[in-house]
Amino acid sequence: MKLVIVGGGIIGTATAARLGQTDHDVTLVERDEIGTDTTAASAGMLMRAAVEPTPFDVALRNRAWAAYQRLFEESGLEAERIGTLYLAETAAYAERLERSAATLADHGVDATFRTPDELAEYGIDTSNFDDSRDPGAFAGGLHTTADRRCNPAAVASWFADCAREAGVDVRTGVEVTAIRTRNGTVRAVETDTGRIDADTVINAAGPWAPQLNNTVGVSLPLAHTVGPMAELECPAAASQRADSTQSNTNSNSNATPFTILESKRYVRPGAANGSKAPRRAVVGEFNTGYAEGSVLELHKRDLSDSFRNGAPGTASLVSGFDDATITEEWVGYRTVTPDGRPIVGETDVSGFVVACGLTGLGITLAPAVADLVADAVAGGLDSEHREQVGPDRF
């Protein structure tokens, strides 16, 4: 069978690496360079924990992590275990975090609920936080040591290399301009450098997935949310905690965790590209709500003044990050779905498979999504996955 994957972000490349292990004739088409769009814009966190996860969500993340574990062992790429701390600003959210800790522990993910008094242990410094809240105003936190920080563009390049080694034709600088169908079945893709015959096309075009769906008349509930990001540098040496981060795949109990506020802002220690850098941190906003999104024109955006002005204050939540200044800023687009899960599987157009709507979890879930695409190509998802992530679940 001839398969064409559209998109060379983390989803397209992970899928290419996975499908390279089959007997199919696989081509990946990326109009830019590998991993340079949403994938590079991300915070690069591999998130095993979640707030109020279902058993399905935990199992999907664990499945992805099992594949990543092999990858990090073989590739020499780094994935530092810095953990995540979710911070409750209200008592109601603290209760949800407490329940989540128990659910995660039941599913083998290390997670503990922390009382307000215990939060200082994680390098949280509310005295500098410019939200003028009292120290100790947080109502509690959920801490997991399981989550890791990686360089997502490097991971996508690694997947692309694995795909090439397995015989996949990886074409960059080539844009898919149309998909040809006959009698409701995919036949080929048109690109700006010519036609490629295809029995199956896999839409891994990230935020551009809705446009590609439209070309074959497939309508799926996908929307975009804007993800502002800023890397900041602290002039003084950051806290001992942040300084002590180590570049390896082992647990680092001293690392300042990825810290997510209930109000959605977050601080991720380390440089923009996911590498260890004690005096740097990235501030972002975790906007994944479908109701807040709409299908946007995906032009290059600047940060809003309110985000830019508030970023140093958010960074100062991490001990040692007061007086930080912005060194780099960018905006990425998340592609969100009504239930917060990706959309993966074959559509009503025979041979047209989607792997899109990764919300804020594409880096985390990529190898699991690649497995599901392989299942879809091999004959279809099983009933559980169809129900949870299939395109016909809406």
Residues that bind ligand FAD (CB under 6 A): 6-12, 29-32, 37-39, 41-45, 47, 175-176, 204-208, 227, 229, 284, 332-334, 358, 360-364
Instruction: Give the residue among 254, 25, 263, 273 at the shortest CA–CA distance from 145.
Output: 254
Confirm if 102 and 65 have CB atoms less than 8 A apart. no
What's the closest the beta carbon of residue 207 comes to ligand FAD, in angstroms?
6
Q: What's the min distance (Å) between Cβ of 286 and ligand FAD?
A: 8
Distance CA 127, CA 123 (A): 12
* DSSP symbol at 68: H
Least separation in angstroms between residue 359's CB and ligand FAD is: 6
- Looking at the Cβ atoms of 97 and 204, the one nearer to ligand FAD is 204
| Residue 295 contacts residue 210 (beta carbons within 8 Å) | yes
> What is d(CA 155, CA 147) in angstroms, rounded to the nearest whole number?
16
What SS3 string covers 230-284?
EEEECCCCCCHHHHCCCCCCCECCCCCCEEEECCCEEEEECCCCCCCCCCEEEEE
Q: How far is the C-alpha of 74 from the C-alpha of 155, rounded, in Å?
A: 12
Rounded Cα distance between 121 and 319, Å, is 10
Residue 320's nearest CA partner among 240, 252, 266, 247 is 240
- Closest contact distance (angstroms) between CB of 357 and ligand FAD is 9
Beta carbon nearer to ligand FAD, 228 or 278: 228
**For ligand FAD, the closer CB: 242 or 260:** 260
Nearer to ligand FAD, 45 or 196 (CB): 45
* 245/364 with CB nearer ligand FAD: 364
For ligand FAD, give the closer residue by CB, 30 or 125: 30
Least distance in angstroms from the C-beta of 383 to ligand FAD: 25
Least Å distance between CB 71 and ligand FAD? 15
Closest CA relative to residue 22, chosen from 40, 3, 39: 3
Strands 148-150 and 258-261: unpaired
- Quick one: 65 or 93, whose CB is closer to ligand FAD? 65
SS3 breakdown of the chain: % helix, strand, coil, rounded to 5?
30, 30, 40
Taking the complex as a whole, the smallest distance from the CB of residue 260 to ligand FAD amounts, in Å, to 10
